[in-house]
Amino acid sequence: MRTLFLHIGFHKTGSTSLQLALSRAGDQLLAEGFEFASLGKKGNSSGAIDVRKSDGRVSYALNDRFTELLGSSRSDRVIVSAEHLSFLHEAGQVEAVRRICRQYFDHTVVIVYLRRQDRQAISFKQQAARGCERDRSSSSKLLGHAPGAFPSLTDSVRTYYDYCAKLQLWSESFGEEALRVRRFNAADLKGGDIVSDFTSLLGLKAELEPCRINECVSRKEFLLSHRLIGLGLDPRQLNKLKPLMQKGETRLVPARNTAVEFFQQFSVSNRELNRLFLPHPSGQAFSDDFSSYPEVGNDQLEFADIAEWSADFFRAGLREPYALRDALLIEPLDRLSEAVGPESVEGQQILSLRQCLGETAAVTPEGKNWWARLRQRKRHGR
């Protein structure tokens, strides 16, 4: 009888650490009768799921590599880890996974780790800030590059964070008894980390050494990367700036009320999640303690930031650094205008300044994206 232990994520729940630990412990696993099958040396098999974006909507599809991966396994007990499986949100997609698993295995155990939506979203959007190009990574495709710590609540984002609806699909295809749903929180994990918790779930005797992976980005890299990608800056230009961004040490944190507001968007789903899969005293599947967030956040680009950071545009040798600086000033100007009222005397002065900056940012003869977007915003901003 063959059994597949299928780890499906979610993203930003220590999957990379788990995959590295499993790949490095191949001999230990084999000694206990387990085979860790993966598509890459680092243990991640998410390449079996295609992520595409068209007309603003993100879609996902299982590809042939999943069948090839399972077909190449040999042991009676096999482990596969692919956090992109958590993207799947249609019954037919999950059923396709079940059919393929059934071709090679008598039994499948589906293991999933869930992180409270606000915490997961901040971390996942940090991942999108590590890149230099819009829609290059799955995190960029899904979460986008809007201002602030949290993504805009598009249909795709709402679907992704509806944990309960997704688990119901997996339960319907594989059976409720096949699911192992875990809360990604140190106090809830055996041993305090995902590697120890995962090995405990499988009944492994070997102690796998957790791999500490630091994927955090500084506040500077987060804010500048998202804004410059959003403006359409040439990725090669942004790549020049990356080393200077990464010197920042301040961490980005949103205000408490914005974190609570984001989490509450999924309250209906979380109540069902609590009832069906992940009970918690809060009734919301996760802790309702938000005290780790400050009253005032630092997740918006401010004038002082631009004054300090724009010197890096010159140090990095970017094209048209003055125009780039002026383009960045638009966002805080818009917030200031909204705060004072666009119809007030101060608001009218801000509008005039915005128009001047828009023209300054539009004079660059090279490239084709970020200043064109700025001009379009200016015309539509009246």
Model confidence band, residue 369 (pLDDT cutoffs 50, 70, 90): low
Domain count, the chain: 2
Residue 58 within any structural domain of the chain: yes
pLDDT at 198: 97
Tell me, yes or no, whether 90 and 41 share the same domain: yes
Range from 190-199, 211-220, 238-247, 261-270 carrying the lowest mean pLDDT: 211-220
Model confidence band, residue 354 (pLDDT cutoffs 50, 70, 90): confident
More confident residue, 369 or 24: 24
pLDDT at 216: 85
Mean pLDDT along residues 166-177:
98
Q: What are phi and psi of 80, to 5 degrees?
A: -135, 135
Rounded CA-CA distance 203/182 in Å is 16
Rounded CA-CA distance 176/238 in Å is 47
What is the percentage of the chain residues whose pLDDT exceeds 90? 85
Residue 292 within any structural domain of the chain: no
pLDDT at 362: 47
Tell me, yes or no, whether 230 and 309 share the same domain: yes
pLDDT at 376: 44
Model confidence band, residue 117 (pLDDT cutoffs 50, 70, 90): very high
Tell me, yes or no, whether 191 and 239 share the same domain: no
Which pLDDT tens digit goes with each residue over 53-107?
998 899 999 999 999 999 999 999 999 999 999 999 999 999 999 999 999 999 9
Type of residue numbered 258: T
Tell me, yes or no, whether 186 and 56 share the same domain: yes
Tell me, yes or no, whether 194 and 230 share the same domain: no
pLDDT at 365: 38
Tell me, yes or no, whether 95 and 227 share the same domain: no
pLDDT at 240: 95
Residue 44 within any structural domain of the chain: yes
Does the structure show a pLDDT above 80 at 187? yes
Residue 321 within any structural domain of the chain: yes
Rounded CA-CA distance 55/343 in Å is 35
Rounded CA-CA distance 5/155 in Å is 31
Which pLDDT tens digit goes with each residue over 320-332?
899 899 999 999 9
Residue 21 within any structural domain of the chain: yes
Which pLDDT tens digit goes with each residue over 225-254?
999 999 999 999 999 999 999 888 899 999
For every residue of 63-100, DSSP letters joined together read: -HHHHHHHHH--SSEEEEE-GGGGG--SHHHHHHHHHH
More confident residue, 367 or 108: 108
Which pLDDT tens digit goes with each residue over 130-158?
999 999 999 999 999 999 999 999 999 99
User: What domain range includes position 185?
Assistant: 3-117+162-202
Does the structure show a pLDDT above 70 at 349? yes
Tell me, yes or no, whether 25 and 54 share the same domain: yes
**What is the domain-level CATH number for residue 166?**
3.40.50
Tell me, yes or no, whether 45 and 168 share the same domain: yes
Structure tokens belonging to residue 112: 């999933």
Closest CA to 266 of 180, 140, 159, 144: 159
Does the structure show a pLDDT above 80 at 381? no
Alpha-carbon dihedral of residues 89, 129, 18, 60, nearest 10 degrees?
20
Does the structure show a pLDDT above 90 at 379? no
C-alpha distances in Å from residue 72, one per residue of 39, 69, 140 = 11, 5, 32
Model confidence band, residue 25 (pLDDT cutoffs 50, 70, 90): very high
Tell me, yes or no, whether 69 and 178 share the same domain: yes
Model confidence band, residue 357 (pLDDT cutoffs 50, 70, 90): confident
pTM for the predicted model, two decimal places: 0.91
Residue 28 within any structural domain of the chain: yes
pLDDT at 86: 99
Whether omega before 174 lies within 30 degrees of 0, making that bond cis, reads: no
Which pLDDT tens digit goes with each residue over 278-325?
999 999 999 999 999 999 999 999 999 999 999 999 999 999 899 899
Model confidence band, residue 361 (pLDDT cutoffs 50, 70, 90): low
Mean pLDDT along residues 340-346:
92
pLDDT at 209: 83
C-alpha distances in Å from residue 10, one per residue of 114, 160, 311, 369 = 6, 10, 39, 34
Tell me, yes or no, whether 111 and 51 share the same domain: yes
Tell me, yes or no, whether 15 and 61 share the same domain: yes
Residues 6 or more apart whose CB falls under 8 angstroms from that of 278 comprise 114, 181, 183, 285, 286
Give the end of a domain, one of 143, 173, 202: 202
pLDDT at 215: 73
Residue 136 within any structural domain of the chain: no
Residue 280 within any structural domain of the chain: no
Tell me, yes or no, whether 229 and 309 share the same domain: yes
Helix/strand/coil percent split, the chain, to 5: 55, 10, 35
